[in-house]
Structure 1
Amino acid sequence: MTTQHTDTASPNIALVPNLPAVSKPVPPVPNGNTPTPHPYETLDRASRAMQARLTNGVSPHAAAAALADWLMHLSRAPGRQVELAERAQANLTKLALYCGQTGAAAPFTPHQNDHRFSHEGWNKPPFNLWKQSFLATQDWWEHATSEVRGTRKHSSDRVGFMTRQFLDVFSPSNYPLLNPEILQVTAETGGQNLVEGAQNFTKDMLAKLSGTPASEEAKFQVGHNLACTPGEVVFRNELFELIQYAPQTEQVKAEPILIVPAWIMKYYILDLSPENSLIRYLVSKGYTVFAISWRNPSAEQRDLSLDDYRRLGVMAALDAVGQIVPDQKIHACGYCLGGTILSIAAATMARENDARLASITLLAAQTDFTEAGELMMFLDESQVAYLEDMMWDQGYLKQEQMAGAFRALRAEDLIWTRAVRRYMLGQDDAQFDISVWNADATRMPYRMHSEYLRSLFLENRLTGGRFSVEGKVIALKDISAPFFVLGTERDHIAPWRSAYKTALFTDSDLTFVLTKGGHNGGILSEPGHRGRHYRIGHRAPGKLYMDPDTWAQKHPAKDGSWWDEWANWLNGKSSPDLVHPPQMGDPEQGLPILAPAPGTYVFQK
């Protein structure tokens, strides 16, 4: 379905200072507000919004309900209580034997991603005893908060998460007199590390209170050594800028590529440093590449809907790409949330017999949310209602509110280890391209994020046959374009088994790749990256479904980068003949060059 545009500029463009007029104006976004609520309901929402500011958006009611569910079922399980008592006794016995035997093997070991006790001093007395006591306590609580018969798994997971957060506060690694590394560095520097740590703490606190980032010499800068692949902005509306990248080969593939990134972060995770830029790699392989750069919405965009991101985002971008490269099908690639909205758009296009897509690539993206990872323990009706009231008040979800949830999932490393390193060892954070990008988050509009959480995360409508677009339900199985689906082994945001479920709900040709790394690091897997491997398999149309664990067993790991596999796959889905590169933009058809890449929206704070 082609999106139609009027000749009147959108009033929302004026909210972005010093920008030229949009290349192809769109009508104002429909307000979409529900009828005016009763004053009592408004009072309730305002009250909850005030509470949410104090808890940074975490619902105390959801936490209390999970704790009550776990405690009530545990209180009715005498056998489990005896088991936990025996576990405590066994852990104490192990600790006693370890204390009494010189050279005995440590009975407890930290988790694989827990680096708090990596210093060699933790293996010497008395520090080893403090370390083992903490790990023994952690082991007991992990066992205690595992699922109790009758308890909702969601409750058990949430209680387990809360106890981890509580225990992390009391880890001996957090206290200078109990941490051998801090004591060693303090002795070697004469306490200078504590002075520098205090300076770092003061600087961070002032930055937090003022709401501005701490000023440091930037090693990485957007437009210089980040997001620096040459290109031009050829389209802009109130939701995104479309970047067309300059060709790097004399001839190019006939079919262009459109990249749809997630709107929760800036697009340039796919155009990071030149050596690990996926976009630069595709351009060097002879593809005409376009990428969406989402705007950073403010309170004025509170009523942007999830369908606006499809209609004014993906579909508007496809229209513009089709103008610049006419009469050619388009390879569409979606990353994370961008893959979800691309899937929705593709299913809608299939319903409308719109055959413009040559292929669909989903990178660490989910279409089914029944196994949506650790973030699910933050989401239930109470929590979503709490977030909705906070966003109703603010108009959006703040960057730091979403970033806080991600950091909490890896608190031992992303919060406590960093605090020890920065405030007690006096070390500055090392700057990496991905860490700079990770700190460059975006806000999310109230209405869109509410619809996303409810219709997809809570109710799983897309694969449940209940997700409607323009009043009619869509189905992923209607899509006939071939799929290339990628999952990453250590993804805690879009677990690979969840990403793999695209194979369960589609019928077309599908290639699935499982690569080493996490949600972001697995994507940055350029050729030559040391220690990388991947698995790849093909599902022909009509072939029986294979469960993910069986799939992993039957497809051995290969060394190298999945990028080359994707490039070969795209070549197989493209016309064999090369053509001259298309012009940059299309000024005669209302798509003039508006700004050099990376554009203007990427700099919005």
Structure 2
Amino acid sequence: MTTDVTDSSRNLERFSANLARIEELTQRLIAALQQKKGHTPALDAPGQELYGKAMTAFLSEAMTNPARLLEQQVAFWGKSLEHYVEMQKALAGQPVETEADPGPKDRRFSNPLWDSNPYFNFIKRQYQTNVAAMEQAVEGLEGLEPGDKRRVGYFTRQIIDMLAPTNFLATNPDALERAVATEGESLVKGLENLVRDVEANRGDLLVTLADREAFTLGVNIGTTEGAVVYRNRMLELIQYKPTTETVHNIPLLIFPPWINKFYILDLKPANSLIKWIVDQGFTLFVVSWKNPDASYAAVGMDDYVEDGYLAAIEQVKQIAGTDKVNAVGYCIAGTTLTATLGLMQKRGDKSVNAATFFTTLTDFSDPGEIGVFLDDDFVDGIEETVKRDGYLDKFFMSRTFSFLRANDLVYSPAIRSYMLGEAPPAFDLLYWNGDGTNLPGRMCVEYLRQLCQQNRLIEPGFDICGERVSVKDVRVPVCAIACETDHIAPWKSSFNGFRQFGSRQKTFILSESGHIAGIVNPPGKDKYGHYTNEGPMRSAEEWKEGAGYHKGSWWPRWRDWLSGKSGRMVPARPLGDSRHKVLAPAPGTYVAETPAP
């Protein structure tokens, strides 16, 4: 008896302490939310015009085909009533036979209580019925342009994902079980995590995906040995130390996207493309872009080409003692490399011997999922924001890309962190994903308006550094790697732009997986394979149908292609030269900068 009283007292004390801690954290949360900087509302949701079009299409359908709408409603009501009756029977202890879940198992509902407990089973099945009804309603909308229908479908899916019962404490059995088992401690830790994230983002909410204390650049991430050998206002140029006695004569220069940081290519030795390239006998240089602040407001695409691409190419030539380089562009950096090669062709500059493009879009006629954010409602909001602030804060880009995979990158991490009270994992890829960069105001608008919206690299041409260029002006040998499930640069769109290049020598490789995993896919594990086809590049569908599948990474295949474009073997080069002193060890200083808001 005494033991029971003691345990109850201790439980009450812990519960009271947790309540007091919640009160303290709530005050911190309120204070953190008050720090939120006002921003253009257009960055948060599509414009009213899209809602108007969707409502007009729905009303039109209701008037022209009321029988179908009524049929859908009756079916929805019938399903809902059936679920309710079955729940009542189950609560009364009567045996109930329910339908098996259609389609693949939804991992959000993996807890056995979703099937065994009448309350949770009713909630799950009703949510699934609601989802089916909403998807059917969107699919049935007639009279919408394809782009508008795609946007309505996308934002409907956002609502569907947001309203999942797993996202709410009262309807999440995992969170409730954890709260009971820990006497509320999990909820206190979850609130601590929530306050931490709101404070870190100055009043906005962005879920921390990885333990920020688990990694240190140059120590256990981004560790391939090298040095910064050149620096200007746009970039640091990193040369990596050779690991072979001889190297190919023509050096390789990688331009990563400035939307993210370059060390995605150097997370750890086992999956570092940078280390692997060096180990294959190439002299490797990588650009690390400046993370801009408001002082970069006037920096545009011209600056990225002149002070970025052309400056880096010239420095690499000087250091390597060659008159040519091979270049790689990843994502947006590949798009800009296309424009740069067109400009060099117009100027008669033959400094680039061959070029490779990772997950690159040059034809934006069908930009895929990201296209829902490229209409005027969002772009107008971005333009208004950068006119005021001088740059686009990394928060908005990170949020946008996260919501392209909302369940994986928003809701599931939020549940683990805020409801279950778990600490973020020590995961290098997610650490990099949360280490974003800002975008200069002028460059951001130029890219969105002229390349994404107006598709000027295809027609009538993109104006850059005093010349008008298009994909047809790219004449050097080229290789492109696209990724089969890429949701940022869809492979068919990448193929469609690439096939229009003016080059006579074009090699296209399709890797399995997505935008990151398809590129960071080292040999050995054979997790993802790739496709090749030496035949004509008439259409993506025809190319894929005739392509051969190869198990394992595309890296060795690309190495063989690159070797044939890199000249004879010469003694390995030291870092820098008499005019290019070592300024800092890799990964440099720009990559670690976080501009003040």
Q: TM-score range by the shorter chain?
A: 0.7 to 0.9
Partner of 2:408: 413
Cα deviation, residue 54, structure 1: 4.3
Partner of 1:63: 47
- Structure 1's unaligned 5+ residue stretches are 1-50
Partner of 2:259: 264
Q: Any idea what the Cα deviations from partners look like across 1:160-200, whole Å, max 9, x if unmatched?
A: 33333333343211223322222333344343322322332
8 Å contact from structure 2 (residues 212, 431) kept in 1: no
- Structure 2's unaligned 5+ residue stretches are 1-35, 87-94
Most deviating of 119-128 and 564-573: 119-128
Q: Any idea what the Cα deviations from partners look like across 1:348-369, whole Å, max 9, x if unmatched?
A: 1122222222211100111111
Q: How does 1:149-548 map to 2 (within 5 A)?
A: 149-209=142-202, 218-507=213-502, 508-538=504-534, 543=536, 545-548=537-540
Q: Secondary structure at the match of 2:258?
A: coil
Alignment CA distance shift 1:376-1:579 (3 Å): same
Q: Secondary structure at the match of 1:116?
A: helix
Q: Does 1:599 align with 2:592?
A: no
Q: Any idea what the Cα deviations from partners look like across 1:482-534, whole Å, max 9, x if unmatched?
A: 21111112211111111111333124211111112211121110112352111
Q: Any idea what the Cα deviations from partners look like across 1:39-76, whole Å, max 9, x if unmatched?
A: xxxxxxxxxxxx9934565266x421001012112322
Cα deviation, residue 473, structure 1: 2.0
Q: Secondary structure at the match of 1:440?
A: coil
8 Å contact from structure 1 (residues 484, 510) kept in 2: yes
- Equivalent residue letter for 1:537: N
Q: How does 1:73-88 map to 2 (within 5 A)?
A: 73-77=57-61, 78-79=63-64, 81-88=66-73
Q: Secondary structure at the match of 1:519?
A: coil
Alignment partners' CA distance in 2, 1:169 and 1:197: 19
- Equivalent residue letter for 1:86: E
Q: Secondary structure at the match of 1:461?
A: coil
Alignment CA distance shift 1:439-1:510 (3 Å): same
Cα deviation, residue 226, structure 1: 1.4
Alignment partners' CA distance in 2, 1:177 and 1:550: 51
Alignment partners' CA distance in 2, 1:428 and 1:56: 32
Alignment partners' CA distance in 1, 2:140 and 2:334: 33
8 Å contact from structure 2 (residues 211, 424) kept in 1: no
- Equivalent residue letter for 1:593: V
- Equivalent residue letter for 1:564: P
- Equivalent residue letter for 1:120: P
- Equivalent residue letter for 2:544: A
Alignment CA distance shift 1:415-1:59 (3 Å): closer
Alignment partners' CA distance in 2, 1:573 and 1:312: 26
Alignment partners' CA distance in 1, 2:242 and 2:205: 38
Cα deviation, residue 97, structure 1: 5.8
8 Å contact from structure 1 (residues 115, 413) kept in 2: no
Alignment CA distance shift 1:358-1:81 (3 Å): farther
Q: 2:99 aligns with which of 82, 85, 105?
A: 105
Q: Does 1:579 align with 2:570?
A: yes
8 Å contact from structure 2 (residues 211, 427) kept in 1: no
8 Å contact from structure 1 (residues 349, 355) kept in 2: yes
8 Å contact from structure 1 (residues 147, 153) kept in 2: no
Q: Secondary structure at the match of 1:486?
A: strand
Alignment partners' CA distance in 2, 1:70 and 1:211: 30
Alignment partners' CA distance in 1, 2:545 and 2:81: 42
8 Å contact from structure 2 (residues 40, 385) kept in 1: no
Alignment partners' CA distance in 1, 2:473 and 2:140: 39
TM-score in terms of structure 2 length: 0.86
Q: Secondary structure at the match of 1:223?
A: coil
Aligned residues between the structures:
545
Q: Secondary structure at the match of 2:328?
A: strand
Alignment CA distance shift 1:379-1:475 (3 Å): closer
8 Å contact from structure 2 (residues 361, 493) kept in 1: yes
TM-score in terms of structure 1 length: 0.84
8 Å contact from structure 1 (residues 532, 560) kept in 2: yes
Alignment partners' CA distance in 2, 1:185 and 1:555: 50
Partner of 2:125: 132
Q: 2:74 aligns with which of 77, 80, 89?
A: 89
